[in-house]
Amino acid sequence: MVLYHSSFVNVGKRLGATKLQLRGIFKNAKVCRGRDWEWGEQDGGAGKEGLVLDIVTWSGVVRAGVRVTWDFFGGEHNYRIGYAGKVCTYCL
C-alpha cells in the first residue's frame, strides 16, 4: 500500500486572479449527516450542524475521514468522507 502525504507550498499574491468558491470538506467547515449516515442520533438528529475539527485517517487510509464536533452536545466523533465510497457527512 502506498500512502501519499500532502505538503504545503507558499505562493505569492495573484493580483487580478479569478476568485473561486472553495469546495470540499476542510477544517472548520460546517457539516451535517450525509447519504451514508449509520450513526443513529449521534449528531443530535437530522438537520443538526457540526464543525470539522480535523481531517483524519480511516482504517489506514489517509484523509478518508473527519473528526466532527456537533452543536447539539459538543461530543467529538470520526466519520467517513470517502472511505469505501461512503460519505457520512457533507458540507453545508
Sketch out the chain's domains with CATH numbers.
30-91 (2.30.30.40)
Of 23, 26, 92, give the one whose Cα is nearest residue 54. Answer: 26
- pTM for this entry: 0.75
Of 67, 49, 60, give the one whose Cα is nearest residue 83. Answer: 60
Kind plus residue range of the DSSP H or E element containing 91 = strand 89-91
Per-residue pLDDT at 72: 78
CA distance 90 to 1: 27
Per-residue pLDDT at 62: 92
Q: Mention every residue, 6+ apart, whose C-beta is less than 8 A from residue 82.
A: 63, 64
pLDDT tens for each residue of 29-84:
999 999 999 999 999 999 999 999 999 999 999 999 999 999 877 789 999 998 99
